[in-house]
Amino acid sequence: MRLIDKIYINGVFVTPHGQELFDLYNPATAQVTGQVRLADETDARAAIAAAKEAFPAFSRTSKAERIALLVRMHEAVTARRNDLLEAIIEEYGAPSSRAGFMADHPASQFLDMVRVLEDYDFTRRIASAEVIMTPIGVAGLITPWNSNAGFICGKLATAIAAGCTAVIKPSEMSALQTQVVTEALHEAGLPAGVFNIVTGRGEVVGAELGSHPDIAKISFTGSTTVGKGILRAGAETMKRITLELGGKSPTIILDDASLAEAIPLAIGAGFMNSGQACIAGTRILAPRSRLTEIEALAKAAAEEIRTGDPRDPETAIGPMVSRKQWDRVQRYIRIGLDEGATLLAGGEDRPDELGGWFVRPTIFTNVTNDMTIAREEIFGPVLSIIPYEDEEEAIAIANDTVYGLQAYILSGDMDRARKVAERIVAGRVLINTLAHEPMAPFGGFRQSGIGREYGTYGLEAFLEPKSLLGLHQDLVK
Ligand code: NAD
């Protein structure tokens, strides 16, 4: 049994003041594999104090110095890539096809931020003023379990690039990944206190970050419910808040799409990350004129998907991360049946012979957009095919949601797809692709969040503009 009993404050691994031990599981076996000792409010305050102390010097570092640090962080995390891969498979159950990306992505984000910084000018002239983009202060970075290492590194890379110091509150369910990343980042040799990593409960350590007056900014990725609480808590001290929350993304198959190409993309978008993805395309909007074909192809595709041992290279869908998450997905499958949707593939219970928290890849059809399974984020491999009559109706259904994170359009005609994309309320619209673009802004409309991450937009969320007036008297009217 593994015991993780250190947190990282002021450049040192320390034993938390908090005493609670929290069980860690392998979701593919549902067995306990170890425990993590959780930090408490006292630990959170010590981390915030360290980051506050480090901020004045760090905020004055040059762009070149910060680029050098980001390169070192990239190298340090890359050196632990295989350990991270193991941790992601053991603790999260990501199938090895997905886990490879999840192990590479954390390190690559440091270099993405180097690219952003190289082209970014922190000082600019606007009329007679000189405007300086200024680091905002100490940032609280809070991550979910579905890509814990990726979010730690992405958020931290951006904070460092901006000249901010940080306190990171990772998911308590991802302590193994956090340990590997923390050890790696320690090796990068940043000044003490610039980043601090404090694993603890959301309602304890997360809440302390969300209300503490010395935290200037929160960057949070997680559920919409918790995100709303963070927004309310931050109002008292006027925190700048970036929220990356849930989604119910539409995949619109237009009637001119080649189904041989469109169906694998639609299924891939829906079942990505074992369905535990905020950007999963969980509502497949199908033209009624081609519904029978789409159903047949989708059913065949779902039945071919391998669910099981995450280490098997053929496996496409791993287990749900926890018993709680498994129960939640089962509940939604039951609701789908009760509300009268037609089960096309999968269904309730575990696939045969699998003991962990596995779910059968499930597709419902004849779903209407007012059904619970079309409205609420399920966060598991459960998709809904929603028939539509014409393009106008497809757009209306796609936009009839409280969310607006991502959308997918599958079409044989790029011009047409583009026109439809312009009318979709979502932070990202992917046309005939599932590829990520790390330089483009990412984030949601409506209740999918506030603000954007990645690229220049992500960087500026950690900066405040400061205008200096009078330097250019010749231009003053
Ligand atoms: P969650 O909201 O339960 O937890 C996220 C993080 O917030 C965890 O570290 C948790 O400990 C912490 N937390 C919980 N209560 C808190 C509080 N009161 N104050 C401060 N922090 C608190 O989410 P989860 O179950 O870990 O992750 C799944 C959710 O994340 C899904 O809704 C998914 O859509 C969303 N998500 C969004 C994105 C995105 O980029 N938009 C990406 C991945 C996941």
The CATH code of the domain that includes 343 is: 3.40.309.10
pLDDT interval class at 352 (50, 70, 90): confident
pLDDT interval class at 473 (50, 70, 90): confident
Per residue in 94-107, pLDDT (tens digit) is 998 899 999 999 99
Atom number, ligand 1, closest to the C-alpha of residue 225: 2
Predicted confidence at residue 354, as pLDDT, reads 85
Residue of the CA atom closest to atom 22 of ligand 1 = 202
Pair (202, 157) in one structural domain: yes
Any domain includes 218: yes
The CATH code of the domain that includes 112 is: 3.40.605.10
Tell me how far CA of residue 143 lies from CA of 150, 232, 302, 371, 414, in angstroms: 9, 18, 30, 30, 36
Amino acid identity, residue 229? G
Per residue in 370-419, pLDDT (tens digit) is 999 999 999 999 999 999 999 999 999 999 999 999 999 999 999 999 99
Secondary structure element (H or E) that encloses residue 51, with its range: helix 41-59
Residue of the CA atom closest to atom 40 of ligand 1 = 244
Predicted confidence at residue 237, as pLDDT, reads 98
Residue of the CA atom closest to atom 13 of ligand 1 = 202
Per residue in 179-218, pLDDT (tens digit) is 999 999 999 999 999 999 999 999 999 999 999 999 999 9
Strand order from edge to edge, sheet including 21-26? 2-4, 31-37, 21-26
Number of H helices, E strands in the chain: 15, 21
Distance (angstroms) between ligand 1 centre and the Cα of 222 equals 2
Q: Which of 20, 92, 109, 142 for mutating ligand 1's site (highest number of atoms within 8 Å of CB)?
A: 142
Supply 48's token pair. Answer: 């915030």
Supply 111's token pair. Answer: 């270099």
How far, rounded to the nearest angstrom, does the alpha carbon of residue 133 sit from its chain's CA centroid? Answer: 26
Distance (angstroms) between ligand 1 centre and the Cα of 226 equals 7
Q: Are 262 and 281 in contact (CB under 8 A)?
A: no
As a whole number, mean pLDDT of residues 41-51 equals 99
Q: What is the dihedral of CA 67, 73, 78, 83, to 10 degrees?
A: -170
Any domain includes 476: no
Any domain includes 171: yes
Any domain includes 286: yes
How far is residue 332's CA from residue 340's CA, in Å, rounded to a whole number? Answer: 12
Distance (angstroms) between ligand 1 centre and the Cα of 293 equals 38
Per residue in 268-316, pLDDT (tens digit) is 999 999 999 999 999 999 999 999 999 999 999 999 999 999 999 999 9
Which amino acids are annotated catalytic? 244, 278
Pair (267, 129) in one structural domain: no
Distance (angstroms) between ligand 1 centre and the Cα of 33 equals 23
Distance (angstroms) between ligand 1 centre and the Cα of 322 equals 14
Any domain includes 124: yes
Question: Crossing angle of helices 96-118/81-92, nearest 10°?
Answer: 130
Share of the chain above pLDDT 90, in %: 97
Domain count of the chain? Answer: 2
Pair (137, 256) in one structural domain: no
Pair (410, 448) in one structural domain: no
Show the domain range for 331.
Answer: 250-431
Atom number, ligand 1, closest to the C-alpha of residue 278: 34
Supply 41's token pair. Answer: 């409010």
As a whole number, mean pLDDT of residues 244-264 equals 98
User: DSSP 3-state assignment of 210?
Assistant: helix
Per residue in 317-349, pLDDT (tens digit) is 999 999 999 999 999 999 999 999 999 999 999
Residue of the CA atom closest to atom 26 of ligand 1 = 144
Pair (254, 403) in one structural domain: yes
**What is the DSSP track for 247-312?**
--EEEEE-TTS-HHHHHHHHHHHHHGGGG--TT-EEEEEEEGGGHHHHHHHHHHHHHH--BS-TTS
Supply 62's token pair. Answer: 């040059």
What's the pTM value of the predicted model, to 2 decimals? 0.98
How far is residue 330's CA from residue 359's CA, in Å, rounded to a whole number? Answer: 8
The string over 149-168, giving b where at least 16 C-beta atoms fall within 10 Å of a residue's C-beta and e elsewhere, is bbbbbbbbbbbbbbbbbbbb
Q: Are strands 463-468 and 129-135 parallel, antiparallel or unpaired?
A: antiparallel
Pair (157, 298) in one structural domain: no
Atom number, ligand 1, closest to the C-alpha of residue 442: 40
Supply 1's token pair. Answer: 């049994």
Pair (115, 81) in one structural domain: yes
Predicted confidence at residue 477, as pLDDT, reads 63
3-state secondary structure 329-376: HHHHHHHHHHCCCEEEEEECCCCCCCCCCCCEEEEEECCCCCCHHHHC
Amino acid identity, residue 244? E
Distance (angstroms) between ligand 1 centre and the Cα of 312 equals 29
Predicted confidence at residue 202, as pLDDT, reads 98
Any domain includes 189: yes
12 forms beta bridges with 9
Supply 308's token pair. Answer: 């099981």
Pair (72, 87) in one structural domain: yes
- The 8-class DSSP code of residue 275 comes to G
- Average pLDDT of the chain? 97
Any domain includes 439: no
Predicted confidence at residue 190, as pLDDT, reads 98
Closest CA to 345 of 374, 304, 376: 304
Per residue in 5-14, pLDDT (tens digit) is 999 999 999 9
Any domain includes 330: yes
With a cut of 80, say whether residue 53 has pLDDT above it.
yes
Number of neighbours of residue 61 by Cβ within 10 angstroms? 16
Per residue in 117-163, pLDDT (tens digit) is 999 999 999 999 999 999 999 999 999 999 999 999 999 999 999 99
Residues with CB under 6 Å of ligand 1 are 142-147, 169, 171-172, 202-203, 206-207, 210, 221-223, 226, 229-230, 244-247, 278, 377, 379, 405, 449
Residues in the chain: 477
Q: Are 138 and 195 in contact (CB under 8 A)?
A: no
Pair (177, 307) in one structural domain: no
Q: Which of 22, 226, 402 for mutating ligand 1's site (highest number of atoms within 8 Å of CB)?
A: 226
With a cut of 80, say whether residue 476 has pLDDT above it.
no
Pair (297, 171) in one structural domain: no
How far is residue 281's CA from residue 406's CA, in Å, rounded to a whole number? Answer: 8
User: DSSP 3-state assignment of 20?
Assistant: coil
Pair (195, 113) in one structural domain: yes
With a cut of 90, say whether residue 87 has pLDDT above it.
yes
Pair (241, 280) in one structural domain: no
Atom number, ligand 1, closest to the C-alpha of residue 145: 26
Atom number, ligand 1, closest to the C-alpha of residue 201: 11
Residue of the CA atom closest to atom 16 of ligand 1 = 202
Q: Are 427 and 403 in contact (CB under 8 A)?
A: no
